[in-house]
């Protein structure tokens, strides 16, 4: 008798092996092609009720949408101020300040180490006067201001408070967020200044000062974004961010604060990538986990257990190839953040894989949020994906996976100890290398990069910053300030700051006096450095990851044989020095490339971070390398790379080849080639191609 089917769907399910469609996320979480109500835990939580999985507010966006907070800063304070006014007129509802790398690292614009960094990847701020220009015409008692600053937090926060005072605004009226998350700097971003213990003391002093004097201001934004961009899996980003949060809570408690004095003002910051449902689940999981972790401190105020977060769409998901496609990538990521329940959001511009965003691309990014908020009706329903079998199951899986990482960190004695052991950093670096391998092997697809490539690139305008002009302007202003101020009063304030660093006085409180007297950012930072010292990260190379994945690949085997033959012919392995010039600490790309060269058979040397062109040239000569590879992400390539080539020529070592990769706008390629660069690698270049082409350059 012929078997009777109840429905076409049942027939399809019976004839298809469902298990064959299972797959795993980067966190090794098994994903089924079909979810039912038996797949999820019993979840009766409502929005606004612990553990806040569905949102920290009962009404969420139905009452008030998320804050549109676009991260921006470039060139001078005046240029950035004009851009802010344009954004606020265009619908932006809060400000987020990007400082240049010189400012991040505690250097004034006239310091010789920052020649190529002034005004490039953010705004140059040397004095209170610069801060006043930055916020000219912007009422700081009405405008929420977020400041991404971690290294030079003491002078920047002091300048902000004094600039507000000179607007007639008291600290009690200020609202916004200071990033002030130094632990993630030691993990991934590297714009630190002082050693970990001294840095944690600074974090604690700022939390304590703000708890007493700035009740509306968030003194710290605990950031997973930079871990996300450095290659962390979702569970790693989630776990390490919350583990950092635990460390800051304990630091504040040791300073005598009660949990409810500061915990309601803690905030978080997550990156949002292209794994749409996992990113939604990540934010839901973060709220549930934070509520669970905070219970050990027995807070009485419910807000102490609420995880409030800012989100930013991914920079690393933006492609150099077909950059207009980045508009849809950013839209998908922005929707994931909104459906996950973010409190504020930044959307990246489509041209940021090529260079700094223009006014046009920034407007598209800003309007992406406005369209979601105003046109889609998504905000009219609270947690619209709540109850989805898939999303609820994924949320619980991420909670379970992240909890394992957190317990591992706790067993080490907390995140500061774990960072000193190098465990989280190495795990993130390995995850980044594995991600690149999956792309090279077409296991993960990026449209236009490793599949569906186009024959030509659209012509995209990229913002060009004249560093020399900005630096010259800053130098002139610094000279004027130093001429007009009471130098004896400044020296007294700086001496008091050194004494405070040696003792137990609150550093921000003492630095405020120095800021009012006219001390510069560099002077305040160096006064603290005199006591704490300047931290230098250890130089380490990750090896073995690429080789394990590629061991049976015929092209990889062929490349290794070519390198072996080179060694036989020349009497030694090909040798490369990899470096980042200037003050940019984003070293994900450099570490991934180092893995590839080492596993292919090159001898690989790394310079310390924050190397000058002269220092890199000297190390290249001393190590007798064949080639120097430069990773450039911070728009200083037209200054720093030619400077390195000139240093090699001056030393009679122009036989050492120079290659570079990273964020290199197409219009700058010929300039770099004319300057002497032997090979250029744009974002998305396969590792095999990079190593093979470099070997060809040497030969």
Give per-residue pLDDT as tens, 458-510. 777 777 777 788 899 999 999 999 999 999 999 999 999 999 999 999 999 99
Tokens found for residue 635: 């728009």
Say what the pLDDT of residue 9 is: 60
Q: Give me the residues of the chain with pLDDT under 50, please.
A: 1-2, 5
For residues 574 and 679, give the distance between their C-alpha atoms in angstroms, rounded to a whole number.
16
146, β-bridge pairs: 96, 177
Of 160, 225, 240, 320, which is the active-site residue?
225
Tokens found for residue 681: 């690698």
Mean pLDDT for all residues in the chain: 91
71 is catalytic: yes
Say what the pLDDT of residue 635 is: 74
584 is catalytic: yes
Whether the model clears a pTM of 0.85, i.e. scores above it, the answer is yes
Of 228, 282, 401, 586, which is the active-site residue?
586
Q: Please check whether residue 627 is in contact with residue 576, taking contact to mean a CB–CB distance below 8 angstroms.
A: yes
350 phi/psi in degrees, rounded to 5: -65, -20
Of 228, 580, 626, 638, which is the active-site residue?
580
For residues 129 and 616, give the distance between their C-alpha atoms in angstroms, rounded to a whole number.
35
Which among 161, 152, 165, 154 is positioned nearest to 207, based on CA atoms? 154
For residues 106 and 190, give the distance between their C-alpha atoms in angstroms, rounded to a whole number.
13
Say what the pLDDT of residue 42 is: 61
Distances (CA, A) of 201 to 54, 198, 397, 531, 532: 35, 5, 35, 13, 11
The tens digit of pLDDT for each residue in 100-137 reads 999 999 999 999 999 889 988 889 999 999 999 999 99
225 is catalytic: yes
Say what the pLDDT of residue 71 is: 75
226 is catalytic: yes
Q: Please check whether residue 237 is in contact with residue 278, taking contact to mean a CB–CB distance below 8 angstroms.
A: no
Say what the pLDDT of residue 1 is: 42
Distances (CA, A) of 376 to 328, 338, 348, 380, 400: 15, 12, 20, 9, 33
Of 27, 108, 584, 599, which is the active-site residue?
584
The tens digit of pLDDT for each residue in 320-347 reads 989 999 999 999 999 999 999 999 999 9
For residues 406 and 396, give the distance between their C-alpha atoms in angstroms, rounded to a whole number.
15
Say what the pLDDT of residue 629 is: 96
Say what the pLDDT of residue 503 is: 96
Of 120, 226, 638, 657, which is the active-site residue?
226
């Amino acid at each position: 008798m012929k078997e009777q089917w109840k429905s076409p769907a049942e027939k399809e399910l019976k004839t298809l092996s469902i298990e064959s469609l299972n797959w795993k996320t980067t966190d090794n979480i098994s994903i089924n092609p079909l979810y039912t109500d038996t797949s999820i835990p019993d979840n009766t939580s409502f929005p606004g009720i612990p553990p806040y999985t569905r949102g920290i507010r009962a009404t969420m966006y139905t009452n008030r949408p998320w804050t549109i907070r676009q991260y921006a800063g470039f060139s001078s304070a005046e240029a950035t101020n004009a851009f802010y006014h344009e954004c606020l007129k265009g619908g932006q509802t809060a400000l987020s300040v990007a400082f240049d790398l010189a400012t991040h690292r505690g250097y004034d614009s006239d310091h010789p180490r920052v020649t190529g960094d002034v005004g490039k990847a953010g705004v140059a701020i040397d004095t209170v006067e610069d801060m006043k220009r930055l916020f000219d015409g912007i009422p700081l008692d009405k405008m929420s201001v977020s400041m991404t600053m971690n290294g030079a937090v003491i002078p920047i926060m002091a300048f902000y408070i004094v600039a507000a005072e000179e607007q007639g605004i008291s600290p009690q009226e200020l609202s916004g967020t200071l990033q002030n998350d130094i632990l993630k700097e030691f993990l991934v971003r590297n714009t630190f200044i002082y050693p970990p213990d001294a840095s944690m003391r600074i974090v604690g002093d700022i939390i304590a000062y703000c708890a007493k004097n700035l009740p509306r201001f968030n003194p710290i934004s605990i950031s997973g974004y930079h871990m996300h961009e450095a290659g962390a899996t979702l569970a790693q980003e989630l776990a390490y961010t919350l583990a950092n949060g635990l460390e800051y809570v304990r630091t504040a408690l040791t300073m005598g604060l009660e949990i409810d004095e500061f915990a309601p003002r803690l905030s978080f910051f997550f990156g949002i990538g292209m794994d749409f449902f996992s990113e939604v689940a990540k934010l839901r999981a973060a709220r549930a986990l934070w509520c669970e972790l905070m219970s050990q401190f027995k807070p009485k105020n419910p807000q102490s257990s609420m995880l409030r977060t800012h989100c930013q769409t991914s920079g690393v998901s933006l492609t150099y190839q077909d950059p207009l496609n980045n508009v849809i990538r950013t839209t998908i990521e922005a929707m994931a953040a909104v459906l996950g329940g973010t409190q504020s959001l930044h959307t990246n511009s489509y041209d940021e894989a090529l260079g700094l965003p223009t006014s046009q691309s920034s407007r598209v990014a800003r309007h992406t949020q406005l369209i979601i908020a105003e046109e889609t009706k998504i905000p009219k329903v609270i947690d619209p994906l709540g109850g989805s079998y898939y999303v609820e199951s994924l949320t619980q899986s991420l909670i379970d996976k992240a909890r394992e990482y957190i317990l591992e960190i706790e067993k080490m004695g907390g995140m500061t100890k774990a960072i000193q052991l190098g465990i989280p950093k190495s795990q993130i670096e390995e995850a980044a290398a594995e991600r690149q391998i999956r792309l090279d092997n077409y296991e993960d697809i990026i449209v236009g990069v490793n599949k569906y490539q186009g024959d030509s690139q659209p012509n995209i305008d990229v913002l060009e910053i004249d560093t020399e002009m900005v630096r010259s302007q800053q130098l002139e202003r610094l000279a004027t300030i130093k001429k007009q101020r009471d130098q004896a009063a400044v020296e007294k304030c700086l001496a008091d700051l050194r004494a405070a660093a040696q003792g137990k006085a609150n550093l921000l409180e003492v630095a405020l006096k120095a800021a009012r007297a006219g001390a510069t950012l560099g002077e305040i930072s160096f006064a603290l450095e005199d006591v704490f010292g300047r931290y230098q990260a250890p130089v380490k190379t990750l090896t073995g990851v690429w080789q394990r994945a590629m061991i049976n690949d015929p092209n990889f085997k062929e490349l290794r044989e070519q390198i072996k033959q080179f060694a036989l012919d020349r009497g030694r392995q090909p040798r490369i020095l990899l470096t980042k010039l200037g003050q940019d600490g984003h070293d994900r790309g450099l570490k991934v490339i180092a893995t590839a060269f080492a596993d292919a058979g090159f001898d690989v040397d790394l310079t310390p971070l924050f190397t000058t062109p002269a220092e890199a040239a000297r190390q290249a000569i001393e190590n007798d390398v064949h080639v120097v590879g430069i990773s450039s992400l911070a728009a200083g390539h037209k200054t720093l790379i030619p400077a390195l080539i000139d240093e090699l020529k001056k030393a009679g070592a122009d036989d050492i080849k120079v290659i570079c990769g990273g964020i290199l706008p197409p219009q700058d390629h010929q300039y770099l080639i004319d300057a002497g660069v032997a090979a250029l690698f744009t974002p998305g270049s396969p590792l095999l191609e990079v190593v093979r082409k470099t070997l060809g350059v040497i030969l």
